[in-house]
Amino acid sequence: MTVAAVTPAAAATDAREENPWARAWRRLKRRKGAMFGLVVVVLFVLVAILAPLISPYDPVATSFTQVRKPPSWAHWLGTDEVGRDVLARIIWGARASLSAGLVSVGIALGIGVPLGLLAGYAGGWIDAVLSRIVDAMLAIPFLILAIALAAFLGPSLTNAMIAIGVTATPVFIRLTRGQTLAAKVEDYVEAARAVGNPHWRIALRHVLPNIVPPLLVQASLAIAGAIIAEAALSFLGLGQQPPAPSWGSMLNSAQRFIAQAPWMAFWPGFAIFFAVLSFNLLGDGLRDALDPRHK
């Protein structure tokens, strides 16, 4: 009997399907909340990138004739206590908030994923030590730890990002470790071992690509948390330093004038609210879209 005689090759052409990412995108598009989140996130990113072009005023230029003016045609969102345009500061502040969100989550992913992969894949005492450290860090409330670290490093936006990133790391270690534990007992990982892959290659080429979806979901949710954390640190004076704008520091200065100039507090609060809501909606949508159990 020849090999060709047992060929059902034709079936494959009929069973042509889209790849996993295309399928996730199709399912994401169906979710209104997620698409709203995605649109707002893209909008915020564009605003942050194009800040120098679209900002109507210099965000740090003071004007003593324009102190605490309510919204008007000249200043759409009003002015603050030293006459700076609130819209310009919101637009420039998007840079601080978004970069704080992205950079700190980048730090958390950069440290957390390799360590989680190591703990989950190697197991044994490495796992035991790493997991106990993670437990210890998770026992301290997120913001308290971030504040303590930022205070220790000294007040600046960069240090705030580092503090938030390090604080967000344990969650990623734990998530990556758990996903790795589940993936490493799959048959395809054993098959990878059977063809002669070294361990590092199994971890990077066979385990990691298969645990990306939950990490992506966690990352988008963590960005929302990081934006709040940056706002909180800036509010406390540990983040972006004056006069450079940040939504959190704008809130901080607005609190003294909440009765006389409520717009000073309203707009940065609104911006934080929308950014965080959008990242959360996007994360939830991604979670559903990437979950293979959903149809």
Partner 1 sequence: MSGPLLEVQGLAKHFPVKQGAFGRLSGHVRAVDGVDFHLDAGETLAIVGESGCGKSTVGRLVLRLLEPTDGSVRFEGQDLLALSDSQMRAQRRRMQVIFQDPYASLNPRMTVGAMLSEPLMLHGLAASDAARRARVGELLELVGLRPEHARRYPHEFSGGQRQRLAIARALAVEPQLIVADEPVSALDVSIQAQVINLMRSLQARFGLAYVFISHDLAVVKHIADRIAVMYLGKIVETATTDELFRNPRHPYTRALLSAVPLPDPTVVRERALLEGDIPSAMNPPPGCRFHTRCRYARESCRIDVPVLVDDGAGHSTACPWWPEFPPAPLLAEGTGQDQDRLRLARLQAAFVTSQTEAT
Q: Which residues bind partner 1 (CB under 8 A)?
A: 1-4, 6-9, 11-12, 15-17, 19-20, 186-188, 190-198, 205-206, 209-210
CB of 271 to partner 1, least distance (A): 37
CB of 191 to partner 1, least distance (A): 5
In the bound state with partner 1, the residue whose beta carbon lies nearer, of 53 and 195, is 195
Look-up of token digits 């540990």 = 238
In the bound state with partner 1, the residue whose beta carbon lies nearer, of 4 and 53, is 4
In the bound state with partner 1, the residue whose beta carbon lies nearer, of 3 and 139, is 3
In the bound state with partner 1, the residue whose beta carbon lies nearer, of 194 and 259, is 194
Sequence letter at residue 255: Q
CB of 185 to partner 1, least distance (A): 10
CB of 67 to partner 1, least distance (A): 58
In the bound state with partner 1, the residue whose beta carbon lies nearer, of 32 and 201, is 201
Tell me, rounded to whole angstroms, the distance of Cα 44 from its chain centroid.
13
CB of 189 to partner 1, least distance (A): 8
CB 282 within 8 A of CB 41: yes
Sequence letter at residue 205: R
CB 264 within 8 A of CB 253: yes
Helix (H, G, I), strand (E, B) or coil at 159: helix
CB 202 within 8 A of CB 120: no
Joined tokens for residue 217: 């979901």
Q: How many CB atoms lie within 10 A of CB 265?
A: 18
Cα–Cα distance measured from residue 233 to residue 178, given in angstroms and rounded to the nearest whole number: 31
The 3-state secondary structure of 218-249, one letter per residue: HHHHHHHHHHHHHHHHHHCCCCCCCCCCCHHH
Look-up of token digits 């790795």 = 180
Distance linking the first and last C-alpha atoms of the chain:
42
CB of 14 to partner 1, least distance (A): 9
In the bound state with partner 1, the residue whose beta carbon lies nearer, of 2 and 65, is 2
In the bound state with partner 1, the residue whose beta carbon lies nearer, of 58 and 186, is 186
CB 162 within 8 A of CB 148: no
CB of 27 to partner 1, least distance (A): 15
